[in-house]
Amino acid sequence: MSGRQWDESDVRIRPNKKGSRPRTKDRPKHEDATIGRVIGVDRGRYTTVVDEGTKTERTVLAMRARELRRQAVVPGDRVALVGDISGGQDALARLVRIEERSTLLRRSADDTDPVERAVVANADQVVVVVAAADPEPRPGFIDRTLVAAHDAGITPVLVITKADLREPTDLLETYVPLGLDVVVSRAGTGEIDENGSLPVDEEALSTLHGLLDGHVSALLGHSGVGKSTLVNALTGAGRATGGVNKVTGRGRHTSSSAIALKVPESPTGTWVVDTPGVRSFGLAHVDEQGVVDAFEDLVPATAECARGCTHAVDAPGCALDAWVEEGKAGPHGADRLASLRKLLASRVEASEDVKELGEHGA
């Protein structure tokens, strides 16, 4: 999906269906448009926040202008709005432009699906949530999201929930040495709140607040890992959830699409983007080197590999096995290598299709 804007060069090569009306009359395009941040997407309607952090902050509902209908607009996008931007009950603005994105988190449905889907725009953090137990942690999912984050130039954070059920020793041994922030959370001692949410221990919450402050963070995790519990705790549970509903005009549980939620008491611009629909991260859009690069504990070994090494199990001259055997990738190096190889192998069938489609921009 192209995040590129509808610029003048497109105009020139496009046949002008309306006849010979000079294009210059349309320019400059929507120079006086108001910029909003997309916080929710629901059946072609975009909920945006304008004048964020000011007295006139309000939500404005918008529809995409015709010329943008083939472009994905996702939570986190900054968009230009014209028309009725009053934010009144029946007001509907027109979304005429997607501002340049600083980052775009993407995935494909699976590793053999060449169609990329935009997930979240302008996030500078990806928070991968896994449970220490119930459901069992799946390092494959963690590694995939780390690859997607690395590819998008987004800082990853790992949150391990339910440490009250099991100490996440293996996960910590594996991921802490990689240098990413790892937060361990467990059920707190307080009461279950009015949303039915379990309390989360204060220490984990305050660490998380520190990491989230001032950032736009995309939250990813399998169903049941405690993502909603965390989101409720972070966004203030009952009281703040009410506030969130006021902002979005609907309950967060009624939608299966991604939604950006404000973190109250954090500086303006602090958002968590919940992505309930995203269960897996197909990586057809990431090239082989991009996958390898996300395994920072293994990357140094590849300098010793034979030229053009595929790093597969039977690849001649692959230096990765020796690297792991020598313990240079830590106590779980063998698992890390297996995970990398699994990811590389799952993408082999996909690569031919992707090549055929050619290179597309973000």
Ligand X SMILES: Nc1nc2c(ncn2[C@@H]2O[C@H](COP(=O)(O)OP(=O)(O)OP(=O)(O)O)[C@@H](O)[C@H]2O)c(=O)[nH]1
Which parts of this chain interact with Zn ion (CB under 5 A)? 305, 309, 311, 318
Between residues 130 and 305, which has the closer beta carbon with respect to Zn ion?
305
Q: Is 318 labelled a binding residue?
A: yes
Closest CA to 108 of 281, 278, 275: 281
Q: How many helices (H) and strands (E) does the chain have?
A: 10, 13
Binding site for ligand X (CB under 6 A): 161-162, 164-165, 185-187, 198, 221, 223-229, 276
Residue 224 or 267: the one with the smaller Cβ distance to ligand X is: 224
CB of 265 to Zn ion, least distance (A): 48
Q: Which amino acid is located at 313 in the chain?
A: V
Q: Is 26 one of the annotated binding-site residues?
A: no
The answer to the question of whether 17 is labelled as a binding residue is: no
- Contact of residue 311 among Zn ion, ligand X, none (CB under 5-8 Å per partner type): Zn ion
**Residue 42 contact partner, candidates ligand X, Zn ion, none, CB within 5 to 8 A by sort of partner:** none
In the block, residue with structure tokens 């999906």? 1
Instruction: Pick one of Zn ion, ligand X, none as the site partner of residue 306 (Cβ within 5 to 8 A by kind).
Output: none
Tell me which H or E stretch contains 289.
Answer: helix 288-293
Residue 162 among known ligand-binding residues: yes
Decide whether 127 or 305 has the Cβ nearer to Zn ion.
Answer: 305
Q: Find, among 158, 150, 144, 146, the residue nearest to 109 by Cα.
A: 144
Find the shortest distance in angstroms from Cβ 232 to ligand X. Answer: 8
The residue (of 56 and 223) whose beta carbon lies closer to ligand X is: 223
> Is residue 143 within 8 Å of residue 344, measured between CB atoms?
no
Report, in Å, the least distance between residue 44 CB and ligand X.
24
Tell me if 258 is assigned to a ligand binding site: no
What's the CA gap between 91 and 82, in Å, rounded? 11
Question: Exposed, middle or buried: residue 342 (CB in 10 Å: 0-12, 13-18, 19+)?
Answer: middle
Q: Are 144 and 280 in contact (CB under 8 A)?
A: yes
CB 239 within 8 A of CB 185: no
- Residue ranges for the known binding site for Zn(2+) are 305, 309, 311, 318
Q: Which residues are annotated as a binding site for GTP?
A: 161-164, 221-229
The annotated binding site is made up of 161-164, 221-229, 305, 309, 311, 318
